[in-house]
Amino acid sequence: MQLPTQFEDSMKAALGGEYDAFRAALDQDPQVSIRINTRKVSAPTKGVEVPWCATGQYLDKRPSFTLDPLLHAGCYYVQEASSMFVEQVYRQFIDTEAPVVLDLCAAPGGKSTHLASLLDGKGWLVSNEVMRNRVNILRENIIKWGAPNVTVTNNDPADFGKLTGLFDLILVDAPCSGEGMFRKDEQAVEEWSPENVRFCAERQRRILADIFPALAEGGILIFSTCTYNEEEDEQNVHWIAEELGAEILRIETDPAWNVTETDAGYHFYPHKTRGEGFFLSALRKTEEEPACKRKKKKEAKVALPPSAKELTNWLTEPVKLTAHNDVIYAIPADQADLVDMLSEHLRVLQSGVEVATVKGKDLIPSQHLALAWTLRNGVFPTVDLSWQEAITYLRKENLTLPANAPKGYILLTYRSVPLGWVKNLGNRCNNLHTQEWRIRMQVDGLEFNDFLEL
Ligand code: SAM
């Protein structure tokens, strides 16, 4: 790998005698790691644990993830291990029972799905992505993960301006010059320049200044990048502390993790820590911030069809049902006001769980419901698929069900984990898998060895 000379010079200055080890690490293969969705898969895997994340696992090789139905079922997320350090901030500094959390730069959803697991169904997560072309993959990953307490939005950081003091935790995983991604992404090497570093650092300040009013007084800000340079990392953290009003927090780390601590945060270097390059800092907001008022809105009458009553029985938790056109969503009853307020100010793509679409007298269960943590067991008949059948389903091809399968909507599972729906008409069945999510890869003759222990 050919590195830009100015990058090499700055790393030599930062790392001194460690530079050669760092340089050698860049020529090694990236680590492969996953984070388990313990709401869906309880057993540990065969991998080695990521020490700073209770659900993180290293794998000794990279399986063909696309061919694993359990990936499509949201049982795990393929995520680089250093990024999982976010968990330490959550565990060490968030003591609110039901925090309101914002992941501002969220696509494709690695840290959002992690935060959703840490919230474990309590409080609320707003998972935001400003780029329109990246928000669909975020939404897909959030749906597959299955948490019932997430709103996906597509907003510029400045759009959060009216939601002052709303969030107990804001994660800004900022767009950056990507030095830490060099061994994974050649384009990051090609795009690197001192000018781009400066451009990124300035953009990060704009993002931080725009979002800071939305953080509650005493709330926690996580600022992270996948880059090493001081301009984007330390200098920006000091700027937040001094200009925006926050104290930099010390995160407890185990010396065995080999994380490098500076006066402003924590660096993950690939020659020392098992993961890609990463930087993270946690700050507590000291600046006063009057919280925006959560108005109790008058109950808007939502025209739900009479059959919709049945939907509350499909779910394990008390919910408020809302309808947009023919689609019905379930919001946990205690968060309905918050969700209304978010819809008033933000471009919301989805809140809560999409439960069903109304078609005449029929209620068509949504893919989201199949994958949600709150789907009640036993409401729908299930058919467990072989690997080959699961792949046929995920490719949205025709599937043949066992002759004794009942008519109507059937929940398909793979190794007992829900995958999605078919409507069994008797002589054939309709594959209801989401068109945009289907596997496009040619799979003829391929095999897959399950690697999760279920
Ligand atoms: N947090 C994500 C994860 O863990 O999967 C990765 C986020 S990536 C490092 C940074 C994100 O910031 C990208 O999705 C990018 O589209 C978004 N972004 C780019 N420009 C932005 C801006 N001006 N304001 C906010 N977000 C921006």
Last residue of one domain, picked from the residues 333, 351, 374 = 374
Residue whose pair of structure tokens reads 């530079």 in the numeric block: 19
For residue 248, report the distance from its CA to the centre of ligand 1, in Å: 23
For residue 211, report the distance from its CA to the centre of ligand 1, in Å: 14
Domain identity same for 401 and 384: yes
For residue 207, report the distance from its CA to the centre of ligand 1, in Å: 10
Domain identity same for 389 and 275: no
Closest atom of ligand 1 relative to the 103 alpha carbon: 1
* pLDDT at position 205 over 90: yes
| Nearest CA residue ID for atom 2, ligand 1 | 106
- CATH number of the domain at 49, please: 3.40.50.150
Domain identity same for 235 and 354: no
CB-based pocket (< 6 A), ligand 1:
83, 105-111, 129-131, 134, 157, 173, 175, 203, 207
Would you say 197 and 177 are in contact if contact means Cβ atoms under 8 Å apart?
yes
**Domain extent at residue 407:** 380-443
Domain identity same for 335 and 428: no
Domain identity same for 318 and 210: no
For residue 7, report the distance from its CA to the centre of ligand 1, in Å: 23
Q: What is the pTM of this model?
A: 0.97
Residue whose pair of structure tokens reads 């690197």 in the numeric block: 192
* pLDDT at position 43 over 70: no
Dump pLDDT digits (tens) for 350-392: 999 999 999 988 899 999 999 999 999 999 999 999 999 999 9
Domain identity same for 153 and 228: yes
Closest atom of ligand 1 relative to the 107 alpha carbon: 14
Dump pLDDT digits (tens) for 142-157: 999 999 999 999 999 9
Domain identity same for 201 and 129: yes
| Nearest CA residue ID for atom 1, ligand 1 | 106
Domain identity same for 318 and 221: no
Last residue of one domain, picked from the residues 285, 319, 352 = 285
Domain identity same for 271 and 306: no
Domain identity same for 384 and 362: no
Last residue of one domain, picked from the residues 285, 319, 339 = 285
Q: Is residue 363 part of a domain?
A: yes
Q: Is residue 293 part of a domain?
A: no
Dump pLDDT digits (tens) for 273-282: 999 999 999 9
Domain tally for the chain? Answer: 3
Those residues with Cβ within 8 angstroms of residue 221's Cβ, 6 or more apart along the chain or in another chain: 169, 170, 172, 208, 212, 215, 240, 246, 282, 283, 284, 285
d(CA 235, CA 242): 11
